[in-house]
Structure 1
């Protein structure tokens, strides 16, 4: 959030709000209350001859009496054993000490109420979030890979409110919160941490820590917590992929091998490398997407569609477009296609215009 300061027509200056810790706010208020207390003591002490101590035969008001009078006055206790007698002292009490008393009470009571209200509001928000969160995405790790995965999800229509980040590092926590995501702090290899993130009700779990051994442990715990979630894991080394699959991962992406292949392709064929980079980069150019089969496409060959079909998903199994099993498309199929990231007059994007899908015929 930014605070906007009005400037003459033609531009605006946007300044970020300062984020202060609750301890800083509490300390600031305590210092303000202490300043009121000390200021009032000084005021009474300098005008001590305008006051009388009814418990002292001489009526003399000492420094200790001034401190005592100030504390009982600001706290509205008011025993009456020390009282102002001169007109000046009474005026000071009426127009200076009384407003100071109000400010003192507002600081103390206001701070207490704010702390209680903030804690209660936060507890209510968390409880409501836990109750409504289901079939969401849990992302373990908010480094480069985790951030890129979430960015791709959001750009493809995933609601930010349906993404939960599990992170143990302070930098990742701050970055995820600043980007508008719910964050659970802790070690994702622990069952209770994943349960706090609602992993038992999640539809997808993405594991992107920087260590393959940690990824294996997180995957094992996540699969134990949620036997039905689709778990995608990032592996640094290809040799660890089978172990992650055995641990319960549905999909393993080897980052080092993928980068190495892209580097090799770019060296052997710069144009092929640029096309592959285009496919992996969200935005302009080409994109790889999964979509429903449309009614008008039932019974057609995958090669005859407007989209460039590269695979057909049938009975929860992916077939290459040239596989004889999917030579003719049938209801229930889903397509993996290469298409323009943005629709162009000469490059339509079937399946993005509320067309009737083949599955809608069963409804």
Structure 2
């Protein structure tokens, strides 16, 4: 085998791999060889460092402004037969490498293989097809009405791509309890974690893991079998468990026709009245339920339905008596046509005194 054939095979292998150091080496060789050929041809006007760099880029990429060009016959032949053809090859190689890199990064993002850098975001763990898609649509609507505007991230084990690539972030993992993989979803920095897996046992283990990794996040877990809820509550009392209520709604509608429509309307964020919540700030004064109920209705046309004391957020007092008191850091629940932004708590207190 001749030396030329060996060299050709080595060059073909390096070019096929198209590594960056190969491209940089060929670019340096191209620039040096062009300078030497122009020097040999006597093109003194093109050899100054800044002029040569500018001219080579413009000529090699075939932009060709024409403000600088070879003046000798030999220089023109060098440009026509070497500078432009080689420049085009290297230019195309660089563009192709950049396009390939961008394409791979986009594919990694779509497949959920990238590590993210998020904070105070909403994480949905699990994939249930149409149910998860509906959940994502509802969360995006809630996000538009939220003053915090949190990022939404879907974390799955299923072999799928990002179902909403332009609207949500996406991470695919092999395990929901592996630190390295869940760190790609920034699980420790999440403000809200929603766990909804196809199997309740997976939801249970994932909830236990999330409770260990992130103590402060608001965590919600969905169970088909509500008998598992007390078991999780023993170990993670801070997790809000949401069992299926389909059977309960059927029974309720049988004796109170229209109940299912009412509850659907209160949960629907697309149209009509809906249920919302807010936390009373520490700077707000204490209010009686009667004063707050009347002032909220008069000032915002909203209906107060219950509250959770800051001392026990897991217990909600629905339809409380008028003589009960609401304190700062309590969470209140109300019905309105849209979320009330920046409730004027001092104004409510002032209005309540005039009622």
Q: Which residue of 2 aligns with 1:147?
A: 136
Question: What's the TM-score once normalised by structure 2's chain length?
Answer: 0.60
1:315 aligns with 2:335: no
Q: Deviations over 1:230-288 (max 9, x none)?
A: 21101111122223323526111113xx1222333344444222111111111221111
* Residues 292 and 357 in structure 1, CA contact (< 8 A), matched pair in contact too: no
Displacement of 1:155 in angstroms is 4.0
Name the CA distance, whole Å, in 1 between partners of 2:81 and 2:257: 79
> 152, 156, 162: which is aligned to 2:151?
162
1:333 aligns with 2:320: no
Distance 1:158 1:245, change over 3 A: farther
Q: Does 1:304 align with 2:301?
A: no
Distance 2:345 2:293 in 1: 21
Structure 2 vs 1, CA of residues 246 and 196 (structure 1 numbering), >3 Å: closer, same or farther? farther
SS at match of 1:135: coil
- Give me the whole-angstrom Cα distance separating, in 2, the residues matched to 1:253 and 1:331: 26
Cα distance in 2, alignment partners of residues 270 and 211 from structure 1: 33
Distance 1:232-1:356 versus aligned 2 partners, 3 A rule: same
Larger relative contact order (Cα-Cα within 8 Å, sequence gap ≥ 6): 2
Q: Does the alignment pair 1:104 with 2:92?
A: no
CA offsets 1:139-194 (integer angstroms, 9 cap, x no match)? 212442442563354244176653222122243x3204x24222222022323222
Instruction: Specify the alignment match of 1:212 in structure 2.
Output: 200
Segments of 5+ residues of structure 1 without an aligned counterpart are: 1-28, 31-72, 81-90, 343-350
**What's the secondary structure of 1:174's corresponding residue?**
coil
Query: How far apart are residue 207 of structure 1 and its match?
Result: 0.5
Aligned length: 265
Query: Over the residues paired in the alignment, what is the CA RMSD in angstroms?
Result: 4.4
Show structure 2 runs of 5+ residues with no match.
1-14, 17-28, 38-75, 351-355
- CA 1:94–1:273 in 2, change beyond 3 Å: closer, same or farther? same
Output the CA distance in 2 between the equivalents of 1:207 and 1:360.
38
In the superposition, the TM-score normalised over structure 1's length comes to: 0.58
